[in-house]
Structure 1
Amino acid sequence: MKAVNKRNITVIAVIVFLAFLAIERTTQSEPEAVPAMEQQGSSKLASGAGKGQPAPAFTLQGVNGESYSVEGAREKAVLVNFWASWCEPCQQEAPALNALALKYKDVLDVYGINVTSQDYKPNAERFVKKYMLAFPVMYDLKGEIFDKYKGAVFPTNVLVDKNGVIAEVILGLLSPEELEKKIITLTGS
Structure 2
Amino acid sequence: MNTLPPRRRRAGREQLLAAALRLFLRDGIRATSLQAIADESGVTKAGLYYHYKAKDEIVLDVLKPLLDALPAVTRRAEAHRTHAAQVDEVLGGLIEIALDEHAGFTVLMNDPYLTQLLSQQASMRQWWDDTAALLLGPDPDDQTRIGLAMFINGLPGASRDPAMAPLDDRSRRRHLLECGRRLLQPGRAIGT
TM-score, normalised relative to structure 1: 0.29
TM-score, normalised relative to structure 2: 0.28
More strand by share: 1
Report 1 or 2 for greater relative contact order, CA contacts < 8 Å, sequence distance ≥ 6: 1
